[in-house]
Structure 1
Amino acid sequence: MRKIAIAAASALAILAAVPVIAAPAYAESATWLKIEGNWNQFAGKVKQQWGKLTDDDLTTIKGHRQELVGKIQERYGIAKAEAEKQVDAWEKTQKVN
């Protein structure tokens, strides 16, 4: 019994030392995963929606939702919540196969 207790305590000590990787505050939707996977096709639509984004911005974003939110926030001088709201609304209008 003592060996089991020692093993359990050792396992807990090891787990306590492992850093926790935080999950993103949002869960990427199936739609967004398709947008990310076909970013070259969607980049033009993104630029139509947010004309202040540059070609370099679109290259940097690479389909990553949080990068897009951050660039919109930066270029338009808006709060993160507003940029996320805009991206959410845009995402809902996209047709993906």
Structure 2
Amino acid sequence: MDWNRIEGNWKQVKGKIKEQWGQLTDDELDEIAGNRDQLEGKIQERYGIERDRVRRDIDDWYNRQTWNW
């Protein structure tokens, strides 16, 4: 997975993140700014999911996306 592309296109990706993890706020997403570790931590905190599952969920989400860049 090339997470650097996510970081570089964070403004476009935020909407897709919000669709999947709607409990994350815009302020939190702005704070995360594409940092995967911070995204994992916020999802874990907000949804009460263990870290390993969050990682798998993010990988699954990423692989389902059709990127237009």
Q: How does the TM-score come out when normalised to structure 1?
A: 0.66
Runs of 4 or more consecutive aligned structure 1 residues displaced over 3 Å after TM superposition = none
Among candidates 42, 45, 52, match of residue 74 of structure 1: 45
Within 2, Cα distance between the matches of 1:65 and 1:57? 13
Structural RMSD (CA): 1.0
Within 2, Cα distance between the matches of 1:41 and 1:86? 20
| Larger Rg over CA atoms | 1
- CA deviation map 1:66-96 (0-9, x unaligned): 1111100000011001111110101112223
Within 1, Cα distance between the matches of 2:5 and 2:65? 10
Gaps of 5+ in 1: 1-28
Identity of aligned residues (%): 50
Q: How does the TM-score come out when normalised to structure 2?
A: 0.90
Q: State how 1:4-83 maps to structure 2 within 5 Å.
A: 29-30=1-2, 32-83=3-54
Residues matched between the structures, number: 68
Secondary structure of the residue that 2:23 maps to in structure 1?
Answer: coil
**Structure 1 counterpart of 2:33, one-letter code:** K
Secondary structure of the residue that 1:43 maps to in structure 2?
Answer: helix
